[in-house]
Amino acid sequence: MSQIVKGMGALHRLNLIHRDLKPDNILIQFEKAESGIDKTFKSNFEIATGNVTCKIADLGFTRELKEDELASTFLGTPQYSAPEILTKQTYQNNVDVWSLGCIYYEMLVGVLPFSASSKKLFIKNVLDGDFILPHTIEVSVDAAKFLTSCLTSGPK
């Protein structure tokens, strides 16, 4: 997660917003394992020794956005889109922070923080902002604060 945050920070320092951050757009490279690993297992999986590199990919929706400028294009993947995009309001780079929160939640829990049976109900759930970490998921206070700050990063 820290590498994804650093990558997003680098984009934002260049006045770029990604607008489609999601797990599909995060590339993960594992350092290959040393010999001695079961060959059957090794042939089916990329074995990691602990060194992982994450990179943000698919910059097709990326846009330069000056500090006082606002974007208004409705694009991206709705499940990871910030409330401003879903409600077709103007927005800034904080929409990437929201997406980061959705990714982090999904990494922790295995599902997205917001879901619904219809588009209208989904947007309502996002606007309400009520996500719950299951009691079976243990996170540090800092991790919970980080998640909350990401998923409350913009106007609603």
Active site residue 96: no
CA-CA distance, 21 to 37, in Å (whole number)? 34
Contact 101, 150 (CB under 8 A): yes
Name the active-site residue from 20, 24, 58, 130.
Answer: 20
CB atoms within 10 A of CB 103: 20
3-state secondary structure of 1: coil
Distances (CA, A) of 60 to 19, 25, 27, 75, 110: 9, 11, 15, 11, 26
Residue type, 98: W
DSSP three-state, residue 55: strand
Catalytic residues: 20
